[in-house]
Amino acid sequence: MKREEIHIEWTFRLFAFSSLLFLFLILFFILFEGSPLLYKVGLRSVLLEQRWAPTKGSFGILPMVVSSFLVTFGALCLGAPLGLFCAIFLSEYASRSVRMVLKPTLELLAAIPSVVYGFMGVVYLVPIVREYLGGPGFSLLTTSLVLGIMILPTITSISFDAMQSVPGPFREGSYAMGATRWQTIWRITLPSARSGIVAGFILGMGRAIGETMAVIMVAGNALSIPKGLLEPLRTLTGNIALELAYATGEHRSALFTTGVILLLIIMIFNSVANFVVKKRIVR
């Protein structure tokens, strides 16, 4: 019996560490393909130059980096407050029956393919922006709106779980002191769940910056830093998806270098989120 337990333990341990193996294989593959160009051109040249023309020896990805952060920030401006308010309603105001309907419905948004979000953006959002605000319609604003809706389930779900984990006596003590429900939410529940809510925001940012298909469909894919909400742009993920099919030589290596930068950014976001969650657990 003991031998069987040892075999089972090592089997599960093997499966657990296989995820690390896949991660290291992906890292090795991307670094192997992208590092030669980084070594040749230099990280400073790749990150700070604004001209992207790999066939002519220009490998600057600064416009894509800036655009990726701009659409992520725009998506967070929409998705963060909306997701937080949804989580507050579900956790503090909604009845059990309403919660049983709304929460699965919100989580179902995460299962919708990104191409569907992009299609809806092209069909509805782009014409509205073009008609009422001007510009081509394929813009920073449109992309931010689409991504803001896409990250909504992530932020809502994690924020809801964080608020649900606040001990009941915290709320009861607040009510006993004469506080209203909103005062209790504002002064007790939200500060107690702050770390989990921040982790939800960071994971939402990682989801937004890593999105590809929907961004390609509504961003306009212009190789320049957008100077306004109504100008088109191209993100890091969009750049890789659009050009990898026909890229060769240094052009292909430059796209893998773009993947290295993108992977580092997403890993930083996830590491910060894990740190915040662990800090919350320790408290």
Number of domains observed in the structure of the chain:
1
282: pLDDT strictly greater than 60: no
Check residues 103 and 138 and name the one with the higher pLDDT.
Answer: 138
Which contacts of 22-28 are long-range, i.e. CB under 8 A and separated by 24 or more positions? 27/263
Residue 42 pLDDT grade (very low, low, confident, very high; cuts 50, 70, 90): confident
Here the CATH number for the domain that contains residue 217 is 1.10.3720.10
Q: Which amino acid is at 15?
A: F
Residue 126 pLDDT grade (very low, low, confident, very high; cuts 50, 70, 90): very high
Question: CA-CA distance, 202 to 273, in Å (whole number)?
Answer: 6
Which contacts of 269-274 are long-range, i.e. CB under 8 A and separated by 24 or more positions? 269/202, 269/203, 269/205, 269/206, 269/209, 270/202, 270/203, 270/206, 272/202, 273/199, 273/202, 273/203, 273/206, 274/199
Is 14 within a domain? no
Average pLDDT in the 96-106 region?
A: 86
pLDDT in tens, 200-238: 888 888 888 888 889 999 998 888 889 889 999 999 999
Residue 82 pLDDT grade (very low, low, confident, very high; cuts 50, 70, 90): very high
Contact (Cβ atoms closer than 8 angstroms) between residue 206 and residue 270:
yes
Q: What percent of the chain has pLDDT over 70?
A: 96
Q: Residue 122's pLDDT is what? A: 93
Is 2 within a domain? no
Is 33 within a domain? no
- Cα torsion at 255, 266, 76, 183 (round to 10°)? 180
Quote the radius of gyration of the chain (alpha carbons, Å).
Answer: 22
Read off the DSSP letter of residue 87.
H
195: pLDDT strictly greater than 80: yes
Helix (H, G, I), strand (E, B) or coil at 84: helix
Cα end-to-end span (Å), the chain: 40
Q: What is the mean pLDDT of the chain?
A: 86
Average pLDDT in the 240-264 region?
A: 87
Is 270 within a domain? yes
Domain interval for residue 197: 47-282
Is 36 within a domain? no
pLDDT in tens, 128-187: 999 999 888 899 999 999 999 999 999 999 999 889 888 888 888 888 888 888 889 888
From the list 107, 199, 118, the residue with the least C-alpha distance to 153 is 107
Is 5 within a domain? no
Question: CA-CA distance, 251 to 57, in Å (whole number)?
Answer: 9
Residue 283 pLDDT grade (very low, low, confident, very high; cuts 50, 70, 90): low
Is 175 within a domain? yes
Is 17 within a domain? no
Residue 279 pLDDT grade (very low, low, confident, very high; cuts 50, 70, 90): low
